[in-house]
Every structure is written in structure tokens, then in C-alpha cells.
Amino acid sequence: MPQTVISIYFYLQKPPTNNTFFGRVLLNTKEINAVLFEWIDHWIIGQNFCPFARPVRLKESINITLSDAKNVEQMMTILEQACQSLLSNPDRSTTLVTFTHGAKDFFSFLDWVDTANLLIQQCNWEGVFQLATFHPDYLFDGEPVDSPTHYTNRAPLPILHIIREAEISTVMPSQKEADVIVARNQARCEALGTDFFVHQFKGWQARLHQAIE
């Protein structure tokens, strides 16, 4: 049976263990991954924001790649490696490239996203992969800043989510279905309210602060 895989790419001095010091930085990778899977299970799957998530979680084919990349060049290297790894491992459905130190500013992250999509084009991976994006401060254009709908794409850390188009097309075969999901998610967020998300989010971020700092 395929298993969930944790990949770790660091631009630091030595391979990490579950608790690893890099100079003054302590990275508790076990805790980071625990937070990310809680976010997937309780938020993405629990609130049914993404119908694609449940089946790949059940068959344990989600790959989490942690990276401390701090600039666009490092991000592109990690993203290309992650895509190549998916191509080489057909049992893996999807990879969440998660940045522990970089792209903390949302608008800087959007620059990373533009470059990442350009890489997908340059490598002729259009139609093979598409990217979904998540960030702690994600904002949808045109929505009020305090709208709870932003939380459909908010995550405890910045994430570039590599999705196999062949798999997602079985869940969302047309743009019409995608639009229905977006509208449903917005309505769900409005019903839950901002306080619901903020409470959960603060707990995850406090744990990550201890795990990363």
C-alpha cells in the first residue's frame, strides 16, 4: 500500500532528524508535519473544502516536502525536484511543498507563485501538474480583508501544492463543478464565521512557532 512520505530539503548544514539544531534554529519536523496533517484532516477534509483531498488521504498518497528555501531561486530548485519526484513515483498523488522560513509576506509569496507557474510551463508540465496555493495571510482579490472566505486558502505555513491534473479531473471534470465548489466553500466559511477559523489557526501557529524557532 502507498504510504505518506515526508521529504525534507534544507539549505542548511546537515540532514534533519525529528529535532534538529541548525545554528540557533531548532526544527521539530515531527511537530511541523503533525500540524500540517491536522490542518488537512480538520480543515481541508473536515470542512470539505477540497473533494480531492479525502481519497488521497485515505490511500496515504500525500507527500509533504519541507523546505527552508528563502528566495525564488531556491524555491524553483525545490519545486522542480518535487515535480520530478512525483513523475518518478506514480503511487504518490500529490505533494505539498511547504516553506518553513521563506515567503512569509503574502505579496512576496505571490511573486513566488508567478515564478512557480512559469517553471511548470517551461518544463512542459502544463496538463500534467497544476499548482494550488496556500498562505497564512491569503487574501482573495475583491473580498473584504476581514472576510472568513480567505480561510479556504489559508494554511499554517506557505504551501505550493502540486496536483496531478489527471487525478483532479476525476473529481472536478469541468469548470462548472469547480465554480460550484468555490461558491459552496464561501457559504460554508460565512456560516462558520471568522472566529471559528482564528481560534484554530492561533493554536497551530503557536505550535509551529515552537517547532521552528
Residue (of 112, 110, 98, 102) closest to 36 by Cα position: 98
CA distances, 20 to each of 103, 186, 211, 213 (Å) = 22, 40, 10, 11
Number of domains in the chain: 1
The pLDDT value recorded for residue 211 is 87
Bridge partners (DSSP) of residue 210 are none
Those residues of the chain that have pLDDT short of 70 are: 1-27, 169-175, 213
The pLDDT value recorded for residue 117 is 97
pLDDT tens-digit readout, 48-63: 898 888 888 888 888 8
pLDDT tens-digit readout, 85-130: 999 998 888 999 999 999 999 999 999 999 999 999 999 999 999 9
Residues 6+ apart with CB under 8 A from 120: 83, 126, 129, 130, 131
**CB-facing half-sphere around the CA of 173: CA atoms within 13 A:** 1
The pLDDT value recorded for residue 105 is 96
DSSP symbol at 126: B
Bridge partners (DSSP) of residue 8 are 66
The pLDDT value recorded for residue 167 is 80
The answer to whether the CB of 201 falls within 8 A of the CB of 35 is: no
DSSP codes joined into one string, 73-86: HHHHHHHHHHHHHH
DSSP SS3 for 99 = strand
Q: How far apart are CA 58 and CA 45, in angstroms?
A: 11
- Domain assignment of residue 45, given as a range: 5-212
Instruction: Output phi, psi for 65, to 5 deg.
Output: -110, 115
Neighbours of 28 (CB within 10 A): 20
- On whether the pTM is more than 0.75, the answer is yes
The answer to whether the CB of 118 falls within 8 A of the CB of 131 is: no
